[in-house]
Amino acid sequence: MLHSYMQGLAIGFSLIIAIGAQNAFILKQGLKKQYVFWLCAICAASDSILILLGVLGFSQLVESHPEIVNGAKYLGATFLTVYGAQHFLQAFKTSSSLAPSEKNETKLLKLVLICLALTWLNPHVYLDTVVLIGSISTKFESTAVYFAIGAITASWVFFFVLGFGARYLLPLFQSAKAWKVLDLIIGVVMWGIAISLLL
What CA–CA distance (Å, rounded) separates 4 from 10?
Answer: 10
Tell me which DSSP letter residue 34 carries: S
The residue among 43, 24, 12, 18 whose CA lies nearest residue 160 is 43
| Residue partners of 67: CB distance under 8 A and separation at least 6 | none
For residues 176 and 92, give the distance between their C-alpha atoms in angstroms, rounded to a whole number.
Answer: 11
pLDDT at 101: 46
First to last CA, the chain: 40
- Determine the pLDDT at residue 68: 66
Count CA atoms within 13 Å of residue 9 on its CB side.
10
**Quick one: pLDDT at residue 115?**
93
Are 182 and 31 within 8 A, CB to CB?
Answer: yes
> Measured between alpha carbons, how far is 170 from 117 in angstroms, rounded to an integer?
27
Which amino acid is present at 23? N
Q: What is the DSSP annotation of 82-107?
A: HHHHHHHHHHT------SGGGSPPPP
Question: How many domains are there within the chain?
Answer: 1
Domain encompassing residue 6: 2-198
Per-residue pLDDT of the chain (199 residues), as tens digits, is 888 899 889 888 887 877 678 888 999 999 989 999 999 999 999 999 999 988 887 766 666 767 766 776 787 788 888 888 888 888 887 554 445 444 556 789 999 999 999 889 887 788 788 878 887 887 877 888 899 999 999 999 999 999 999 988 888 877 778 888 888 888 888 888 888 777 7
pTM exceeds cut of 0.75:
yes
Q: Is the Cα dihedral 141, 10, 41, 76 positive or negative?
A: negative
Confirm if 122 and 24 have CB atoms less than 8 A apart: no
Q: What is the DSSP letter of 1?
A: -
